[in-house]
Structure 1
Amino acid sequence: MKYTSELKEFMNTTFPGLVIKPSLFNQWNSGIHFEFGKGLYQLKEESDELNPAYFQTVYYQAASLFNEIFSDIDEIFVVTNVYHYKDAKRRSRKLKVYSHHIKNKDIRFHLKQETLPYMFEDEEEAEAEEMCTTQFSLKCRKQDIRYHALIKAICNQDFPSLKPRLHHPNGDYPNVFFINVTKNVILFIYDDRGCEVIASDDGQIRKLYDKYAEWVEECCREEKESRMD
């Protein structure tokens, strides 16, 4: 995969061979898979109404992990993958991750864009041939991001009645990755169900694991405890 020069240099040096796409946890040895809203359900019991307690818990957990991983002085790449048809005429709504959630207009002028191959192998071959990935990347700091709103938008993406939400140019929601260049850690919140955190080595995320062990997906806990002992 190709990336913009600065992002590419960082990835090749710190995470060689890693592709910025979902399932980071399966590509890299040093990682944690967190599960949001354990014991709660998206809908109220005996009702089709959304459960506010569930979503408030999800927002709290996602924001807590973000704040634990990123400090005000850390350099961050906000990377967004948009999956769409190669034929531009078939695209619809524009991506608004950066215009809505990056505060500083001057910083937004440094947004990089690159077209990459489609990243998912489970699609029909003919369909995959017509698809590609547009990857956007922006280097900034925590205070430049409206991260509370962006995190909520990511978590809300499967629920049309909730706001804010991510816009999706081709029906597939974009994936947003937060890369901490200072600490060599990547956070990927995939939706309301949870997130992946990977690091250049286990030591970078040991404190995170200890503090939020109750949120770690059960099947990953034994493996991580044996690795981190």
Structure 2
Amino acid sequence: MNLIGYMEERYPGLKLIPSIYNQWGTGIHFCLGENIYQLIENKELNLKMFRIVYEQNSIIFNELFEQNDDIFLVTNMYKHKKKEKCIRKLKVYQPFLKCKNYLKQIQVKTYSYPFEIAEAEGYEMQQFSLLCKPRDLRVTELLKAASNEDFPLKPKFGGYSIDYPDVFFINITKDIIFFIYDDRGCEVIALDFKRIRPLYEKYHDWVEEYKYM
């Protein structure tokens, strides 16, 4: 199974770009960090807030994914068409794979730049996907890197110069998609709300909004 075939069958019309919650009829939008500001009075990073965010993301991931589930790890890399020609999958995947042989199995497809900006035609999106299992990944480090987008913290995703990579976890065993957009929150969508209802009920205090068809 490849990513395109799965998405066309199970999530027709959905674009794997930020705000998947707004594109789909069944999902949960979580607000993370307990409304604690990222900086303290002397403008240093509030590491307590980041520890809370890391823990919340780990809890959500572990509720949604089991070690033997089949998943796609999908990464969007945004780049200049002419200035940056090389494929840089290693910068996102290599540090977070337990077995480097998986690097040979990564698929890539190039799309038009998905955001409305001036001169968007000069940019493009490379979408990488890897079929694997959570047990094959350094999940804790991946979740931290996704949360660290706007701040000088490690681990950090590599990538191109124009935008931070977006990473999606797609559980094809349970038909659930999990996306951390940054330290402020994350989105979960599903084909069936029954799959994510326990998450909603257990962590209702973290829920920004939810919807189901």
Please give the range of the TM-score, normalised by the shorter of the 2 chains.
Answer: over 0.9
Aligned to 1:123: 117
User: Would the aligned equivalents of 2:38 and 2:46 in 1 still touch at CA under 8 Å?
Assistant: yes
Aligned to 1:147: 139
Q: 1:194 to 1:58 in 2, by over 3 A?
A: same
Paired residue type of 1:151: L
In 2, distance between residues paired with 1:119 and 1:48?
Answer: 34
User: Would the aligned equivalents of 1:92 and 1:170 in 2 still touch at CA under 8 Å?
Assistant: no
Paired residue type of 2:74: V
SS in 2 for 1:165: coil
Aligned-pair distance for 1:90?
A: 3.7
Normalised by the length of structure 1, the TM-score is 0.88
Aligned to 1:189: 180
Aligned to 1:64: 59
Matches within 5 A, 1:2-151: 6-44=2-40, 46-87=41-82, 89-90=83-84, 94-95=88-89, 96-120=91-115, 122-124=116-118, 127-151=119-143
User: Would the aligned equivalents of 2:148 and 2:183 in 1 still touch at CA under 8 Å?
Assistant: yes
Q: 1:107 to 1:93 in 2, by over 3 A?
A: closer
SS in 2 for 1:109: helix
Aligned to 2:156: 165
Aligned-pair distance for 1:93?
A: 9.6
In 2, distance between residues paired with 1:210 and 1:199?
Answer: 15
Higher fraction of helix = 1
Q: 1:171 to 1:91 in 2, by over 3 A?
A: farther
User: Would the aligned equivalents of 1:116 and 1:135 in 2 still touch at CA under 8 Å?
Assistant: yes
**Structure 1 residue ranges (4+ consecutive) displaced by more than 4 angstroms after TM superposition:** none
| 1:176 is the counterpart of 2:171 | no
| 1:207 is the counterpart of 2:193 | no
User: Would the aligned equivalents of 1:154 and 1:191 in 2 still touch at CA under 8 Å?
Assistant: yes
In 1, distance between residues paired with 2:162 and 2:117?
Answer: 15
| Unaligned 5+ runs, structure 1 | none
| Unaligned 5+ runs, structure 2 | none
User: Would the aligned equivalents of 1:28 and 1:198 in 2 still touch at CA under 8 Å?
Assistant: yes
Cα deviation, 1:95-120, whole Å, max 9, x if unaligned, reads 41111101112222110011111111
Deviates more, 1:95-104 or 1:17-26: 95-104
Alignment identity in percent? 48
In 2, distance between residues paired with 1:39 and 1:12?
Answer: 37
Query: RMSD across aligned C-alpha pairs, in angstroms?
Result: 1.7
User: Would the aligned equivalents of 2:84 and 2:160 in 1 still touch at CA under 8 Å?
Assistant: no
User: Would the aligned equivalents of 1:91 and 1:170 in 2 still touch at CA under 8 Å?
Assistant: no
In 2, distance between residues paired with 1:118 and 1:67?
Answer: 32
Q: 1:83 to 1:207 in 2, by over 3 A?
A: same
In 2, distance between residues paired with 1:186 and 1:105?
Answer: 24
